[in-house]
Amino acid sequence: MIEEFLDGEEMTILSFVSEPDYLTMVPSQDHKPVFDGDRGPNTGGMGAYSPVPHLEKWLSEIEKMIIDPMVKGLQKENIYFQGILYTGLMITKEEPKVVEFNVRFGNPEAQVIRPRLQNDLLEILEASTEGNLHSIKLTWKQDVCICVILTSGGYPGEYKTGSPISGLKPGVDDLVFYAGTEIFGTKLVTNGGRVLNVSSLGGNPAQARTQTYELLQNIHFENLHYRTDIASKAL
């Protein structure tokens, strides 16, 4: 088997789909490799940001050449789909290329898209199940959202679990999403590779990035690892 190596920048487009309608969400960029500078093995995602200003010139082409034909293709094949279509792209020098499709939100893409969505998510999902997606107009905060993932050192290889987590302020830091965590007795402890997702919204990429990295400085557990360069391509 010969595979084409796709060199470029990743971009994710999530769409609400309720055939024949679909609504494309704002783009985001994930950071898969575990270390700064895109080094080391790939993970499920070490951080993301939205919008992705330097790649947005491709959006109309992606919709016309990839998402629209995908939804029409499903219809043609009599595959009735209502849900979230995840389009994972590599933006090469020549053009956007599809890396993968999934039928779910992205992780950590959802953690930067959801905070920017101004609509009521439940209304969109209800409209989708009722075949009324065309009645919805998506509106988005202009703010930039950045998410940094706090992982257990060693992930995506072997890592330790059960380390106590301190410094969280539930109800105050409302954009800290719990992932690989569990309550053990009365303590919150690590229970996975990707432990916490720390997001924040800011007026521009620099502000959102500073806020996110300041917020995560308060959080501690043994062998905590995170990338320090999330969204640097947007700056």
Neighbours of 142 (CB within 10 A): 9
**21 vs 30, which CB is nearer to ligand GLY?**
30
Near ligand GLY in 173-192, by CB under 6 A: none
Rounded Cα–Cα distance for residues 204 and 11 (Å): 19
83 binds ligand GLY (CB under 6 A): no
Both ends of the chain: CA-CA distance in Å? 39
For the chain, how many helices (H) and strands (E)?
Answer: 5, 14
Near ligand GLY in 95-124, by CB under 6 A: 102, 106-107, 109
Q: Would you say 177 and 197 are in contact if contact means Cβ atoms under 8 Å apart? A: yes
| The pair of three-digit structure tokens given for residue 66, joined into one six-digit string | 């990839």
**21 vs 109, which CB is nearer to ligand GLY?**
109
Q: Would you say 41 and 106 are in contact if contact means Cβ atoms under 8 Å apart? A: no
**44 vs 153, which CB is nearer to ligand GLY?**
44
Amino acid at 222: E
Among 45, 51, 193, 205, binds ligand GLY (CB under 6 A): 45
193 binds ligand GLY (CB under 6 A): no
47 binds ligand GLY (CB under 6 A): no
Q: How far is the CB of 44 from ligand GLY (least distance, A)?
A: 6
21 binds ligand GLY (CB under 6 A): no
Residue 144, SS3 per DSSP: strand
Q: Which residues of this chain interact with ligand GLY, rule CB under 6 A?
A: 30, 44-45, 102, 106-107, 109
